[in-house]
């Protein structure tokens, strides 16, 4: 009988922090790049209005929503013992359903009749908020790496 556990991708909790930070950062950058590509089509001065609205939304989403999620995830990860965990456990398993719903909503919005430069506000808001929030994961990764002398 093949032992399946030995094929499970496992990492320590410090690496989970880094993975979470990188994933949040990459998704944020992807959303920002989409938004920027859409803003190139916005009429004239409206680009600055849309971009400013997106940045304001990002600051609100980051401060009032994402930091709470990050802090909850950090608390959960930091409470783990030092043994290796599945590399996909950087977020709780029930959050994968939320991510799936968000991806589906993103696809629906991108294929809707809403002008892309209007959607850019939402994409800048969420993308920049993800990038800002990822900093907390990365900061905690470095703190834990130094604490546990991980190189």
Q: What is the pLDDT of residues 19-49, one digit of tens each?
A: 999 999 999 999 999 999 999 877 777 788 9
pLDDT band at 4 (very low <50, low <70, confident <90, very high): low
DSSP codes of every residue in 27-63: HHHHHHHHHHHHHTTS-TTHHHHHHHHHHHHHHHHII
Evaluate whether 75 touches 137 at the Cβ level (below 8 Å): no
List the Cα angle 127/138/50 in 5-degree steps: 15
Contact partners, residue 76, CB within 8 Å, separation at least 6: 92
Higher pLDDT, 49 or 88: 49
pLDDT band at 6 (very low <50, low <70, confident <90, very high): low
Evaluate whether 14 touches 78 at the Cβ level (below 8 Å): no
Predicted model pTM: 0.88
pLDDT band at 136 (very low <50, low <70, confident <90, very high): very high
DSSP codes of every residue in 58-115: HHHHIIIIIHHHHHHHHHHHHTS-SS-EEGGGGS-TTHHHHHHHHHHHHHHHHTSSS-
């Amino acid at each position: 009988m093949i032992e399946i556990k030995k094929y499970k991708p496992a990492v320590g909790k410090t690496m989970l922090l880094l993975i979470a930070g990188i994933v949040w950062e990459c998704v944020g950058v992807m959303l920002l790049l989409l938004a920027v590509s859409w803003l190139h089509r916005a009429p004239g001065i409206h680009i600055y209005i849309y971009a400013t609205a997106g940045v304001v939304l990002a600051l609100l989403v980051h401060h009032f929503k994402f930091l709470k999620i990050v802090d909850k995830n950090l608390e959960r990860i930091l409470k783990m013992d030092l043994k290796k965990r599945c590399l996909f456990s950087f977020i709780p398993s029930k959050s994968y359903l939320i991510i799936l719903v968000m991806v589906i909503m993103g696809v629906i919005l991108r294929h809707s009749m809403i002008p892309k430069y209007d959607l850019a506000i939402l994409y800048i808001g969420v993308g920049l908020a993800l990038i800002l929030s990822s900093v907390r994961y990365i900061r905690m990764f470095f703190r834990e790496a130094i604490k546990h002398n991980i190189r």
